[in-house]
Structure 1
Amino acid sequence: MPSVIAHRGFAGINPENTVAAVRTAADRADSVEVDVVACADGTPVVFHDARLDEAEGSRGVTDGAGAVGDLSPGAVTAAEILESGETVPTLAHLVDATAVPLDVELKRPAADHVWRGSLPPGDRETARERWQPFVDRVLDELDDREIRLSSFSAGALAAVRERDPPHSRAVLCRALSTGRTLADRYDADAVHPSLAAMRNADPGAVAAVHDAGRDVNVWTVRTWVEARAAVRAGADGLIADYPGIEQWLGEESG
C-alpha cells in the first residue's frame, strides 16, 4: 500500500495549512504536508500563497490583505482561513500543537520571486545564501520532530544540506529529470513529481530514482483514479487532498 501524505492537511476537506487540519488529518495519513513562508521579520508561518488576499496570482484564502513577506507575524496570524474560524499559524505554534510527522515545503524566504528548478553553477551559492537564514529558522523550530523538508528551489535544498540536519529532504518537480538532477546534487532522500510529470515519465526514469534508493511521492492526487494511475506509474506515496483515496487501489497497491 502506498503511503498517504495529507496535502496541506487534506485541503479538500479541511481549512488548509491550519492546526485543525493537521490534527484532523493525523489519524488518516502517514504524514501531513504543510507550506512555510517568511513574514517580514523572517518568522516562518504556515501558508501557501504569496499574499493573504486575491491579487498577483494568490487565491484570496483569508480575510487579510497584503504580501506575507511584507507583513508582521501578528498581521499574518490574525488572518482567518476561508471563514473557518482557523487562522494562519506560525510554524512554532503548529509544531507545539500537533504530533504527526510533517512534510514541510519551503516556499519563500522573502516577498520577491523565487526561482524553481536547477540553477547555473555561478548562481547556486548566491541562492543558498539567500535561503540560509530562513532555512535555519525553520530548522531551529522543528527540533527533533519527525520531518521531511521539501522544495522546488535549488537554493532551499542547498541551504538544508549546508545545515545538514537529521531530517530527510525531497525535491519537488514538474519534470522527473529535474527532480533526479537536484536529488543527486543535494543528496535528497525522495523525489516529489507532479502527477502529470509522473504520467509522462519513462518507466526507466522512475526505476532510476528507485535504484538510487529514493522514494517517489506524487502530488497532488485528488481522486482514486489518479491514485491508481500514480501507483501504476511507480509511486511509493500519494500527496493527496482527500483521505481514503487509496482504498480502491486493490492489486495496484501490492
Structure 2
Amino acid sequence: MTSVVAHRGFAGVNPENTVGAVRAAADHAALVEVDVVACADGTPVVFHDDRLDDGDGSRGITDGEGAVRNRHPSTVTDAIVLASGETVPTLDRLLAETATPLNVELKRPRAATIRRGTLSPADRAAARERWQPFVDRVLAALDDRRVLASSFCEGALAAVRAESQGVDLAPLCRGFETGRELAARYDADAIHPSLDALRAADPDALAADLDAGHAINAWTVRTWTEARDAARAGADGVIADYPGLERWLDE
C-alpha cells in the first residue's frame, strides 16, 4: 500500500513548516516532512528558504528579514509565516508540541555553501565535518524520537551515520542512481527521488531496491494524476503538498 508523506505539513493547504501545519497534517499522513536549517548560533529551526524575506531567490514567506544563518534564533522565531499567525518554530518547540511521526530533511547548516549529490572520496570527510555540528544538534534534539532523516547532501547523510547507526535515513535525489549509490553507502532505509527521476528509473534497479527493503517515496506530488503516476511507477509513498491523494494510490 502506497502511503502519503505530508510535504512541509501539506504546504498546499497549511502554513508550511509550522506547528499548526504539522498538527493539521498528522491525521492524514504516515509521516509529516519538515525542513531544518541553522540560525547564527547553530540552533535548528524549522524552515526551508535561505532568507526570511524574498532576497537571493527566497520566496519572502515571512514578515522577517535577512538570511536565517545570520539571524539570532529569537529573530527567526518571531517571524510570522504567510500572515497566518503561525511563527517559525525551533526544532525543539516542534518536537515538544507535536507527536506525529516526522521526516526531518537536513536542509542547511550554517555553512553558506553546500554540495548536493554524491562526492568524491577526497571531499566526503570535509563535507561531513561541515555538517557535523548541526547534525549533532538535530540528533540531540530528537533524543529517542523515531524519525526518518533525509537530505540531498552526502555530507549530511555521512554526519548522521558518523553519530548514529540507528537513525533511519533517506537520500533525496534528482537522479535515481544517485539515490541508490547513497542509500548503499550509508545503509539507508528509503530513497526519495523526484517524480521525474522515478519515471526515468530503470525498472530493474527500482525492483532491486524495493527487494532490498528500501522504501521509495516520490516528491513533490501535487495532483491526483501525479499521485497515480508515482504509484504506477512503483513508489511506496508520495511526498505531497495536499491531503486526499491516497485514494489514487492503490488502483
TM-score normalised by structure 2 residue count: 0.98
1:18 is the counterpart of 2:18: yes
Q: Tell me the secondary structure at the aligned position of residue 133 of structure 2.
A: helix
SS of the residue corresponding to residue 246 of structure 2 reads coil
1:69 aligns with: 69
SS of the aligned residue for 2:160 comes to: helix
Query: Any runs of at least 4 consecutive aligned residues in structure 1 with deviations exceeding 6 A, and if so which?
Result: none
State the alpha-carbon separation in 1 of the partners of residues 111 and 10 from structure 2: 26
For 1:55 and 1:115, the matched residues in 2 are separated by 21
- The one-letter code sitting in structure 1 at the alignment partner of 2:59 is R
Give the letter aligned to residue 13 of structure 1: V
Residue of structure 1 in register with 2:246 after alignment: 246
For residues 20 and 228 of structure 1, the distance between their equivalents in structure 2, rounded to whole angstroms, comes to 28
Aligned-residue offset at 1:250: 4.6
Greater displacement, 14-23 / 200-209: 200-209
What is the aligned partner in structure 2 of residue 54 from structure 1? 54
Q: In 2, Cα distance between the equivalents of 1:220 and 1:160?
A: 24
Which SS does the other structure have where 2:136 is aligned? helix
Q: Is it true that 1:178 corresponds to 2:185 in the alignment? A: no
In structure 1, C-alpha distance between the alignment counterparts of 2:132 and 2:6, rounded to whole Å: 27
Match of residue 105 from structure 1: 105
Aligned length: 251
Q: Which amino acid aligns with 2:163?
A: R
From the superposition, tell whether residues 111 and 86 of structure 1 become closer, same or farther in structure 2 (CA, over 3 Å). Answer: farther
For residues 224 and 183 of structure 1, do their structure 2 counterparts lie closer, same or farther at Cα, with a shift above 3 Å needed?
same
Q: Residues 76-91 of structure 1 correspond to what in structure 2 (within 5 A)?
A: 76-91=76-91
| Alpha-carbon distance between aligned partners in 1 of 2:222 and 2:216, rounded to the nearest angstrom | 17
**3-state SS, counterpart of residue 65 of structure 2:** coil
Unaligned 5+ segments in structure 1 are none
CA distance in structure 2 between the aligned counterparts of 1:166 and 1:98, rounded to whole angstroms = 22
AA aligned opposite 1:36: V
Q: Which amino acid aligns with 1:76?
A: V
Which residue matches 1:236?
236
How does 1:1-254 map onto structure 2 within 5 Å?
A: 1-251=1-251
Please give the TM-score of this superposition, normalised by the length of structure 1. Answer: 0.97
SS in 1 for 2:159: helix
Q: What is the distance in 2 between the residues matched to 1:171 and 1:91?
A: 21
Separation in structure 1 between the aligned mates of residue 66 and residue 111 of structure 2, nearest angstrom: 10
| 8 A contact 1:67–1:111 mirrored in 2 | no
In the TM superposition, what whole-angstrom CA distance separates every residue of 1:67-122 from its partner, at most 9, and x where no partner exists?
Answer: 00000000100100010000000000000000000000000111512100001110
Q: Per-residue deviation at 1:246?
A: 1.5
Larger CA deviation: 196-205 vs 80-89: 196-205
Contact 2:119 2:154 in 1 (8 A): yes
Q: CA deviation at 1:7?
A: 0.3
Q: Which amino acid counterpart does residue 193 of structure 1 have in structure 2?
A: P
2:2–2:250 CA contact under 8 A, matched in 1: no
C-alpha contact 2:160 2:167 (8 A) present in aligned 1: no
Kept after mapping to 1: 8 A contact 2:111/2:130: no
C-alpha displacement at 1:186, in angstroms? Answer: 1.0
Q: Distance in 2 between matches of 1:215 and 1:138?
A: 23
Distance across 2 between alignment mates of 1:210 and 1:170: 14
**CA displacement at 1:213 relative to structure 2:** 1.7
Name the aligned partner's letter for residue 235 of structure 1: A
